[in-house]
Amino acid sequence: MSVNTSAIEERRLRRRQRRRRFVMWTSIVSIVVLVAALGTIGTLVVSALAATDEPAAEAPPVPEAEAELIAFPADEPAATAGTEPCATVPVLSSFENAGMVEALAAAYNAAPRNVAGSCVTVTTSRDKSGVAASLVAEGFPQLSAEAKPTIWLPDASTWLEVARDQGATALRADGASAGSSRIVLAMPGPLAEAIGWDAEPPTWDEVFAAADDAELWNNLGHPEWGAFKLGKTSPVVATSGEAAMFASFGASAGSVAELTAAQVADPAVVDEVRAHELATSHYMATPEHFLWHARQAEDTGGSSADFLSAVIVDEKSVWDYNRGITSRDGITRVEGEPPQEQLVPIYPADGTFAADNPVMRLTGDWIDPVEAESAADFIRFVRTAEGQAAVRAAGYRDLNGMLDAEVASLANLVEEPATALPLPAADVVTAVHAAFPEVRKRANVLFLMDVSGSMDEKISASETKLSAAKNAIALALDHFTTGDEVGLAGFAQAVDGSLVPGTVAPVGDFGSTRESILGALGGLTSMGDTPLYQAVDQFAAAQAASWSSDRINAIVLLSDGEDDPLNAPTIGAEAMLENLRALHHTTPVLVFTLAYGADADVATLQSISSATGAHYYDATDPRKIEAVLGDLVTSF
């Protein structure tokens, strides 16, 4: 069954007035391999120590029909390992591709290595793509020389442009892909079948038009699924969010394949993309966040459709979800039974982008010649038969675009999707990133802060939990802009049983309320006991009263303890949660919870966020409050 609503037809007609006729590209290889192998170790030493790093000329895209398959060479480990201490090659990956990078490191470390007489050990770490790009640009100022990466392996080469735009100079020009994963629209099976996209893929234009249609599921005979809920990660943090924005701008401009920086700046295009974003429930930092919530919705007796209708993610995430692997935080993975409602990957008819996983050697005074040579040897291994086998086993396409047969079957992946879209040019990438603050869905958010007596606890010689939290909120406010509605409240219980201080800066347009929020924040002091349930119940109801479908309606709750009012509680935990669930079906307010300090009631805070479809964040180490809160506000 296909969608044929009047709303979609109206949008199509309006777009045709300024759309050039789309000419389908011939299929394009998403990954162009710069070199099949790096050559001898001696050559690697020269490369590592070269004084200049001139960019290699970009090869033109090659139609898939004409591309020759790469014959991956066999790995050539050393006969015996070099002497200790081993040269260490720290590799920084993204959250999305960390599993693949860990598999490559394990396969490399399993064989003896001898580079310039030294054994070699590859280690891995991960961070969000946008955060990692900034760290590369800054030169990793918080890390010791020994801990700084020698290789950066981001999820997609677009992040290289982001890093360069922020001033990065440490990127060599010899990086090439390790493997790829297409960015697809993933839908619970029953929804994909009901809309007909499992049989006839839509264009990206039709995807966004469907998401804009509030009556779509009702018109298709499924009012129980509510509005079309389109999940997107934040484009300033994750590759799938970036790809969603490229597709949105391209569909609005007339061609996803031919998007230009000038079109990104076109006011008419910007207006349409802004309209697309209204269908977004809220933004999340990683695909795992969305899929964890979808699985929670099913596991608590409902359907994944209660949380999402579709989500833009990479193929690897679909494979993980369909085999029962989820992660609340993108780091800790939980293996369970496969979901009853499997995800179906949809490859839009006008093409899909691919996360191309470039392997980039870094330059810097923390990298000695042997470490540089060892890094080059690991990159050589990535392109061997053994390295590419590890890529496929981790759920990715190898450099020939091939998938592991079992992975493809379990994730319902298309082995040869029709159209691969090249990632946009550097000027388009930076233009889309710069445009996101203008087009993103606006927020209606209240910061709700625990100011009970325990917030006076010292966490350093110069800071208490309260002062650190106030500083973190002040920094987090930089994420918001004119058009966002933001407010601040505190909660504790006075001797007479009243909730104090309550609202200290009413929710209002941030363009005019910023200074009053900062002033009220500075004036907060600790007092009394902790009426957690009462505060959540009272302020969630207040936020729901000003609910708007055009905004992300939310509370950011920071608490360091259990519900422990001095007087008799006004509401219990289950009644509070029941009220939150009731709001979720009418005027949903997302309550993002942040456990602050070792005494925070983690279980209750997790249940509050789950009941509202929001996310829980862990700052039980209070020294991490700035980073955690900074991560949280990317949801808006």
Please state the CATH superfamily assignment of the domain spanning residues 441-635 in this structure: von Willebrand factor, type A domain (3.40.50.410)
CA distances from 370 to 120, 144, 171, 422 (A): 10, 18, 18, 35
Give the Cα separation of 440 and 436 in Å (integer). Answer: 6
Give the Cα separation of 119 and 313 in Å (integer). Answer: 38
User: If you search the block for the tokens 């309006």, which residue do you land on?
Assistant: 14
CATH fold, domain 41-69+74-179+356-402, is D-Maltodextrin-Binding Protein; domain 2 (3.40.190)
Give the tokens for residue 354: 């691919």
DSSP characters for 207-258? HHHHHH-TTHHHHTT-GGG-S--EEEE-TTT-HHHHHHHHHHHHHHHT-STT
* 8-state DSSP, 455: G
State the pLDDT at residue 66.
53
State the pLDDT at residue 567.
75
User: If you search the block for the tokens 């990466």, which residue do you land on?
Assistant: 149
**Domain ranges within the chain, ordered by starting residue:** 6-18+181-353+428-435, 41-69+74-179+356-402, 441-635
DSSP characters for 364-424? -TT--HHHHHHHHHHHHHHTSHHHHHHHHHTT-B-TTS---HHHHHHTT--SS-S-BPPPP
State the pLDDT at residue 32.
34
Give the tokens for residue 182: 């297409």
pTM confidence score: 0.85
- H or E, element range at 604: helix 602-612
CATH code given to domain 6-18+181-353+428-435: 3.40.190
CATH topology identical between 6-18+181-353+428-435 and 41-69+74-179+356-402? yes
Parts of the chain with a pLDDT under 50 = 1-65
